[in-house]
Structure formats: C-alpha cells, structure tokens
C-alpha cells in the first residue's frame, strides 16, 4: 500500500509554512521601515549641540548638502577652492564634545547613529573597534547630515569632496588644528578660510600678518593660529590609505545594511511559495 500522509497533517504543515512566511515578511518589512525612517525624515538621528554653539561664532549659518559643495559648471578651480571651505564652515557647527576631553557621555553626539547605519552603530561593541564611539565620517553626506564636528571632521569633508571630483588634496595635521591643502591653497573649513598660498609660503613669509589678514573676525584665536602656522604641519598625504579605505568602508556598510531585511523577506516569500505547491506525497513503501 502507498504510504500517503493524511490530509489534516499536510494541511497543518502548509498552514505552519504560511504563518512562518508571513511572520518573516512582516519582520523584514518592519526592518526595512526601521532602516528607511531616517532617509524618509521620520526620525532625528543625532541630538542638537548646545544652543550657544549653534548661534555662536562657529555656528552654522546655512543649510548645505553634498551636491552644494561640488564644483559648479564653469567655476574656476581657484574660485572653487576659495568657496569650498567657507560653504563647509557655514553649514557645520563647530562642536564635538564638551570641553577638551571626550567622555562616554559624549557618545550620543560622536557615535554613528543606529538610525543612519545600525552596522556602524554596533561597531564599538566589537573588540578593537572602540574608536567608533568617537567616529568622524569620511563620507561628506554623512558628516553633513550629522551637522557638527571639530576641525578634523570638516577637513575630512573637504578632502573627500575634492577626492570624489578627482582634485588632489592633502590633510595637514597639527596637535592643535587640522586643515587641507590643495593646488597651492590652504583650506581651513573650521574657520571658513581659504588662503591662496601653501603653508610653507605662509610659514616663510610674514606669518602673523598673513594670519591676521585672512582670519578676520577671529581675533581671539590669532595667537594660537599664528603659533600653529609657525610650528608647521604634518601631511597625511594625498593618497592616505586609511582615509581611502574608510571612505569605501562606509559605502560598503551602507549597502550591507539592506542585506538582513532583504534576506528575511526572501525567506518569507520562499516559505509562502512552498506552502502553495502541490501536496507532497511520500514514495510508495516497499513491503
């Protein structure tokens, strides 16, 4: 006699498959909604910095986006390099953490938000990735949307924006400040200043006069800036391997964050299709 599974058992199997399939699709859809909440403008991923920082001398005065920072058709390179640091400085609030030292309480400002990329948000929990608690983005769009950062963050925005357009530049580092140099121009987005000279020319010339002339409106910072330019800078190089890697890494994480919900939904669809196939029959038993 053929070994035929009884109808109620088969119907229960099909019903269980349908329920599991629908549950997977529902979970996947919720996951998709969670990831899409920020792009759709449904959540604010980062808290605003203190009011004094927003409205002060280093506060943001206009809204910018990644496209706004690109070189415009017919715009001369020198004019573009003069405009870029000012636009970045006007759109990013000078703020990162309270005081001169980072503390765990600052992580709500400096850690990648779970809403922007939950994979990057999880990184600090991995041994060796604790630096993601105070992470500065290489992708201009991500940094701009966060809306604030210190000199090292705005310099990364300038460097990455230029690199994405094929314009060579280098980040110049000093223990007390970070700037960018490109095509004979010093670009200090933290102050919104562009100087059509190399830092070496500034250092070998009348450094104090040059600083005072280009950093108008920041008189209280002149002594510190004069010292920084007099000390000199350490170049991180035009093709900094770490920064290039992180720029690509952030893009990979942006793509990978969609993989889990897509996988869950795919399983759900597969289970639904499996539940609708013709009823399974066992092969004939051999007696």
**pLDDT tens sequence across 139-176:** 999 999 999 999 999 999 999 999 999 999 999 999 99
Strand partners, 174: 177
Contact 127, 66 (CB under 8 A): no
Average pLDDT value over all residues in the chain: 91
Closest among 131, 155, 136, 132 to 146, alpha carbons compared:
136
Question: Can you read off the two tokens belonging to residue 191?
Answer: 């102050």
Asked if residues 235 and 200 have their Cβ atoms less than 8 Å apart, the reply is no
Q: What share of the chain is helix, strand, coil (3-state, %, to 5)?
A: 55, 10, 35
Tokens of residue 68, six digits: 């706004």
pLDDT tier, 90 (very low <50, low <70, confident <90, very high otherwise): very high
Residue listed under structure tokens 């002594």: 223
Q: Is the pTM of this model over 0.85?
A: yes
Q: What sign does the dihedral 176-180-181-187 (CA atoms) show?
A: negative
Cα gap 108→97, rounded to integer Å: 10
pLDDT of residue 7: 63
Q: Which two tokens stand for residue 82?
A: 């003069």
Residue carrying the six token digits 């399974």: 280
Extract the tokens encoding 29.
């859809």
β-bridge mates for residue 234, sequence order: 173
């Amino acid at each position: 006699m053929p070994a035929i599974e009884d109808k109620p058992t088969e119907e229960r199997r099909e019903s269980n498959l349908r329920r599991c399939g629908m549950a997977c699709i529902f979970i996947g859809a919720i996951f998709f909604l969670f990831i899409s909440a920020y792009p759709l403008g449904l959540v604010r991923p980062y808290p605003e910095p203190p009011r004094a920082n927003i409205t002060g001398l280093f506060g943001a005065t206009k809204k910018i986006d990644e496209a706004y920072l690109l070189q415009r058709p017919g715009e001369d390179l020198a004019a573009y390099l003069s405009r870029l640091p000012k636009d970045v400085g006007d759109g990013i609030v000078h703020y990162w953490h309270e005081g001169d030292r980072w503390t765990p309480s600052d992580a709500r400002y400096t850690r990648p938000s779970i809403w922007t990329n939950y994979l990057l948000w999880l990184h600090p929990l991995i041994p060796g990735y604790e630096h993601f608690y105070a992470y500065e983005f290489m992708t201009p769009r991500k940094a701009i949307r966060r809306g604030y950062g210190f000199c090292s963050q705005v310099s990364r925005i300038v460097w990455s924006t230029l690199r994405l357009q094929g314009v060579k530049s280098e980040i110049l580092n000093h223990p007390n400040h970070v700037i960018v140099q490109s095509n004979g121009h010093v670009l200090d987005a933290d102050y919104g200043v562009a100087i059509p000279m190399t830092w070496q020319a500034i250092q070998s010339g009348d450094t104090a006069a040059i600083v005072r002339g280009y950093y108008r409106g920041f008189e209280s910072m002149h002594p510190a800036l004069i010292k920084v330019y007099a000390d000199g800078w350490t170049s991180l190089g035009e093709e900094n391997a770490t920064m290039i890697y992180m720029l690509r890494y952030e893009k990979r994480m942006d793509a990978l964050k969609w993989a889990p919900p897509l996988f869950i939904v795919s399983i759900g669809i597969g289970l639904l299709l499996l539940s609708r196939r013709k009823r399974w029959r066992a092969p004939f038993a051999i007696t």
